[in-house]
């Protein structure tokens, strides 16, 4: 069983790039498509805490009901924000990656390189053409 888990949205370029870099390290991660299998409240709280984020920092604004729900209002507590994410999993920013070296919200996607247990096995270029890893597996 893999020791790397990604909370993934296949429609998201950042999430796809992160998954590809995990695989480029020779790791086949556990892939949780969180829109289909949302994490429990406990798991979500742990992911956010382990990534050293606030609940607000873990919220996604773009392409979500964030504005319609008025989530920019400081009146919402962390507990209430977690409730909103539970009702609307798209509000969870992505991708979260968990490895033995830590938990990160991998935005930008190359943040995953800091927590992968194994080095990159070769070159990697993001979908937008940005070279992230050279042919020797070194971060550019």
Per-residue pLDDT of the chain (140 residues; tens, 9 = 90+): 679 999 999 999 999 999 999 999 999 999 999 999 999 999 999 999 999 999 999 999 999 999 999 999 999 999 999 999 999 999 999 999 999 999 999 999 999 999 999 999 999 999 999 999 999 989 99
Residue-level pLDDT at 113: 97
Q: What is the CATH number of domain 5-133?
A: 3.40.30.10
CA distance 119 to 138: 8
Query: What sign for the dihedral angle of Cα 50, 52, 54, 59?
Result: negative
Write down the catalytic residue from 12, 21, 113, 132.
12
- pTM for the whole thing? 0.95
What's the per-residue H, E or C state across 77-99?
CHHHHHHHHHHCHHHECCCEEEE
Task: Check if the beta carbon of residue 33 is closer than 8 Å to that of residue 39.
Answer: no
Query: For residue 14, which of 63, 52, 51, 54 has the smallest C-alpha distance?
Result: 63
The residue to which tokens 């296949």 are assigned:
10
Domain ranges of the chain: 5-133
Q: What is the pLDDT of residue 1?
A: 67
Judge whether 12 counts as a catalytic residue: yes
């Amino acid at each position: 069983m893999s020791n790397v888990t990604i909370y993934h949205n296949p429609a998201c370029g950042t999430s796809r790039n992160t998954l590809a870099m995990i695989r480029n390290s020779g790791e086949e991660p556990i892939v949780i498509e969180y829109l289909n299998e949302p994490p429990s409240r406990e798991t979500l709280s742990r992911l956010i805490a382990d990534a050293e984020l606030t609940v607000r920092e873990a919220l996604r604004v773009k392409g979500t009901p964030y504005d319609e729900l008025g989530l920019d209002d400081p009146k919402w507590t962390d507990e209430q924000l977690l409730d909103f994410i539970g009702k609307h999993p798209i509000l969870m920013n992505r991708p979260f990656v968990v490895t033995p070296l830590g938990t990160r919200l991998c935005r930008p996607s190359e943040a995953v390189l800091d927590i992968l247990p194994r080095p990159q096995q070769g070159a990697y270029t993001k979908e937008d053409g940005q070279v992230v890893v050279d042919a020797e597996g070194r971060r550019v």
